[in-house]
Amino acid sequence: MNILAIDAGNSRIKWGFADDSGWLRRAWIYTADAASIGDAFKALPAPARIVVSNVAGDHVRYAITRALAGYSIVPLWVTGRDEQCGVRSGYAAPAQLGSDRWAGLIAAWKLYGRACVVVNAGTTMTVDALSGEGVFLGGVIVPGLDLMRTSLSDGTAQLKLQPGAFYYFPDNTADAIMSGAINALAGVVDRMSGYMEETGQRTENSGPLVVLSGGAAALIKARLNGAVELVDNLVLEGLLEIAKQE
């Protein structure tokens, strides 16, 4: 069965085409270029199912809808649910949970089936707690790496945005900003792991597994404590699982 999965985020629209053997092709375009997304699909075989996560607004939904208009099947637009693919939602209003977060939780459960801190480090960073019984306990949203750095540049007179790198003890402003942002993001992830351990969400021998995805994932991974798994695109993996089970 051919499946086209589309993950429309604030900065990029990522998509993948898969059959029963796995991914055949994956690529992305900038969300600002959403009107051209149909060009990417012209060389693909006709999919049997199309599944979409969109957190980028109505104008992007319209662009994707236009791009898919030539197919004879109706796309599945993912929304948060009470329960799906073995994951149960503890959100106060499950439908209000971002479709990207929901797909990421489903992917983490499918891939690892254990207590996890599910992290998507993109334009914003989401850090979600998934219990060992497959229950989404809740999570937090913080500015992503670039948003943190840009906010300092925009909000101060002397902290201009410049390329920087991570150091334990930065000795210049650019590195101080980059290192501070990475430390802050890693701290949120470690703190969520700590909360899960404090509330008994751990296996016999270890705490929760951190499942990490997104553009800043590699930078954050090096600064984390405990077990970490890096997944190239957690949302696409979750969308694929949803398409298979719907």
Are residue 122 and residue 198 in the same domain, yes or no?
yes
Its domain, for residue 54, covers 3-77
Model pTM score: 0.94
Residues 126 and 51 in one domain: no
Q: What is the mean pLDDT of the chain?
A: 94
Total domains, the chain: 2
* The predicted structure's pLDDT at residue 54: 98
Residue-wise pLDDT for 1-26, tens only, equals 999 999 999 999 999 999 999 999 99
Q: Which of 48, 77, 106 is the last residue of a domain?
A: 77
Q: Does 131 lie in the same domain as 47?
A: no
pLDDT in tens, 92-120: 999 999 999 999 999 999 999 999 999 99
Q: Answer whether residue 7 is part of any domain.
A: yes
For residue 157, being part of any structural domain is answered with no
**Does residue 100 have an active-site annotation?**
yes
Same domain, 179 and 141: yes
Overall average pLDDT of the 52-76 stretch = 96
131 & 195 share domain: yes
**Are residues 42 and 109 both part of a single domain?**
no
Q: Which token pair is 27?
A: 């690529």
Q: Are residues 73 and 88 in the same domain?
A: no
Assigned domain for 68 exists: yes
Residues 171-214 have pLDDT tens digits of: 998 999 999 999 999 999 999 999 999 998 876 677 899 999 99
Among 100, 146, 154, 171, the one annotated catalytic: 100
The residue assigned the tokens 């085409």 is: 17
Last residue of a domain, one of 77, 94, 127: 77
Residue 191's domain is classified under what CATH number? 3.30.420.40
pLDDT digits (tens, 9 = 90+) for 125-148: 999 999 999 999 999 999 999 898
Local confidence band at 156 (pLDDT 50, 70, 90 cut-offs) = confident
Same domain, 95 and 54: no
